[in-house]
Amino acid sequence: MVTKWHKKINELNIHQQIKILGYWDFKEYPEFPGLYLIKKNNYLIFCGLIAHSRVISIFPKNIISLIMCGNHNYISLHTKGKFYFSPKSYMIKGICKIINEKTKEYSAIKFEFI
């Protein structure tokens, strides 16, 4: 049974593995490709995996709080506005403003769920 499951994971690419299974093959890909956190002035350009999400409000505007992992760092990211958030989303990328650098708390300005 284990070999049958192992064959299945090897047939999927890394994005399919995390989307379908919730994890990826660490032997083939020790790090998830394409993750970044780039600090510019008071802003952060980011692309990372969603580690945890919490819907705070859906009316009148969606407010979602996320814990995101990118470049070996975890940050707390707050999103606000009119957007659709699918529970199947596993990544988020965009630009955010620094709220508190010490606690790694950021407010997303422009973002996209993947």
pLDDT digits (tens, 9 = 90+) for 41-52: 999 999 999 999
DSSP helix/strand/coil, 5:
helix
CA distance 34 to 16: 15
- Which residue type sits at 18? I
**Does residue 86 register a pLDDT over 80?**
yes
pTM of the model: 0.84
- The confidence score (pLDDT) of residue 39 equals 93
- The confidence score (pLDDT) of residue 5 equals 57
Look at the block and give the residue holding tokens 């802003």.
43
What pairs with residue 63 in β-bridges? Answer: 57, 80
